[in-house]
């Protein structure tokens, strides 16, 4: 199986997950980019997976469905271009022998879902398509949900296997890491990762997919209970050690950074 990020708009990635003949695409905000890739790689599109209702994730769904007859999957709790298979946390389905599990991750939007597929055989890592919930070095803005919901959603993702390939929907990594370094200036792993990402971007390469293990070491939003992060937040706004308050203030800090 291969993971190919298709760049779209300013900083979106539409993820193509495929073998040599069949593909699924995640959050196709733009149909043309996907159709070109399918043509170029000679792939049949079986399914379209949607994580949440924002236009940069759904704008190409209708056209793609029409052009390919692909089956559309999406969150039961949100309005996305129908008809689609409406999914909730805990639902599973199969694609090309892979099991795909649905995880509820409210916060960025109220009905946001993520797709996880466990490892299959020795040469396939687990894969996570997390939309705008988890980014490398950061997390999504709280447009419809609360800090408590987002913290809970990130906890669910953090419990997945460390080797999981984290496929985020935006290339926000470098600006996220600048913030992460302000929060944890002494995190050596973070500094090293920032250097590597700068190199990749300078070479025109994506910083994604990341891995969950990598994110657990560098992403302040997955590290909001670490003493270093708690201390940095409490120094700005006293939270009395409350973990949701710390997370909320961390998100606020990033919003204004
Ligand atoms: Zn979004
Ligand atoms: Fe987005």
Ligand nearest to the CA of 133: 1
Note the pLDDT of residue 82.
Answer: 87
Burial of 250 (0-12, 13-18, 19+ CB in 10 A): buried
Q: Compute, in angstroms, the gap from residue 51 CA to the centroid of ligand 1.
A: 9
State which residues have CB under 5 angstroms from ligand 2, the bound ion. 56, 132
CA of 199 to the centre of ligand 1 (A): 27
Catalytic pick among 27, 30, 53, 54: 54
Reading the chain (257 residues) residue by residue, the pLDDT tens digits are 899 999 999 999 999 999 999 999 999 999 999 999 999 999 999 999 999 999 999 999 999 999 999 999 999 999 999 899 999 999 999 999 999 999 999 999 999 999 999 987 666 899 999 999 999 999 999 999 999 999 999 999 999 999 999 999 999 999 999 999 999 999 999 999 999 999 999 999 999 999 999 999 999 999 999 999 999 999 999 999 899 999 999 999 999 99
54 is catalytic: yes
User: Is 242 labeled as catalytic in the residue annotation?
Assistant: no
155 is catalytic: no
- What does the alpha-carbon distance between residue 140 and residue 199 come to, in Å, rounded to a whole number? 24
Query: Dihedral sign, CA of 109, 111, 117, 118?
Result: positive
**Among 53, 84, 132, 194, the one annotated catalytic:** 132
Widest distance between CA atoms in the chain: 57
Consecutive H or E run containing 144: none
Residues of the domain holding 208 = 2-256
Q: What is the pLDDT of residue 123?
A: 66
Give the distance (Å) from ligand 1 centre to CA of residue 101.
20
- State the CATH number of the domain containing residue 205: 3.60.15.10
Q: What residues contact residue 204 under an 8 Å CB cut-off, 6+ apart? A: none
- Is there a catalytic annotation at residue 57? yes
- Return d(Cα 108, Cα 45) in angstroms, integer: 28
Per annotation, catalytic residue among 27, 30, 53, 57: 57
What confidence score (pLDDT) does residue 30 get? 98
- Catalytic residue flag (residue 108): yes
The contacts found for 86-95 with CB under 8 angstroms, 24 or more apart, are 87/113, 88/113, 89/113, 95/24, 95/46, 95/47
The pLDDT score that the predictor gives to residue 224 is 98
Ligand showing the shortest atom-to-Cα distance for residue 29: 2
- Per the rule left: phi > 0, alpha: psi between -120 and 50, beta: everything else, 8 is beta
Q: Which pair of tokens denotes residue 30?
A: 């733009």
Quote the number of domains for the chain: 1
Q: How far is the CA of 55 from the centre of ligand 2 (A)?
A: 8
Question: How far is it, in rounded angstroms, from Cα 156 to Cα 113?
Answer: 11
Rounded to the nearest angstrom, the distance between the alpha carbon of 56 and the centre of ligand 2 is: 6
Q: Alpha-carbon distance 22 to 1, whole Å?
A: 10
Q: What pLDDT is stored for residue 180 in this prediction?
A: 99
Would you put residue 157 in left (φ > 0), alpha (ψ -120 to 50) or beta?
alpha
Q: Which ligand is nearest to the CA of 111?
A: 1
Instruction: Return d(Cα 103, Cα 186) in angstroms, integer.
Output: 33
What is the SS3 assignment for 84?
coil
| Residue 245 CA to ligand 2 centre (angstroms) | 25
């Amino acid at each position: 199986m291969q993971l190919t990020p298709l760049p779209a708009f300013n900083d979106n990635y539409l993820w193509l997950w495929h073998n040599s003949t069949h593909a699924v695409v995640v959050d196709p905000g733009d149909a043309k980019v996907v159709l070109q890739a399918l043509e170029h790689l000679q792939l049949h599109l079986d399914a379209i997976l949607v994580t949440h209702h924002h236009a940069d994730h759904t704008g190409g769904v209708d056209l793609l469905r029409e052009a390919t007859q692909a089956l559309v999957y999406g969150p039961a709790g949100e309005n996305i271009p129908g008809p689609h298979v409406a999914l909730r946390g805990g639902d599973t389905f199969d694609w090309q022998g892979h099991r795909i599990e649905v995880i509820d991750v409210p916060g960025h939007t109220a009905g946001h879902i993520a797709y996880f597929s466990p490892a299959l055989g020795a040469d396939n890592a687990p894969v996570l398509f997390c939309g705008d919930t988890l980014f490398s070095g950061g997390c999504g803005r709280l447009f419809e949900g609360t800090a408590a919901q987002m913290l809970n959603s990130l906890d669910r993702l953090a419990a997945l296997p460390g080797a999981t390939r984290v496929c985020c929907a935006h290339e926000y990594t470098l600006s996220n890491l600048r913030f992460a370094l302000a929060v944890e200036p002494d995190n050596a792993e973070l500094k090293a990762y920032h250097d590597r990402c700068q190199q990749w971007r300078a070479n025109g390469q994506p910083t994604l997919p990341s891995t969950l293990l990598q994110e657990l070491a560098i992403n302040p939003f997955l590290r909001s209970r670490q003493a270093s992060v708690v201390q940095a937040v409490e120094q700005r706004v006293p939270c009395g050690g409350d973990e949701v308050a710390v997370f909320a203030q961390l998100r606020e800090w990033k919003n204004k950074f």
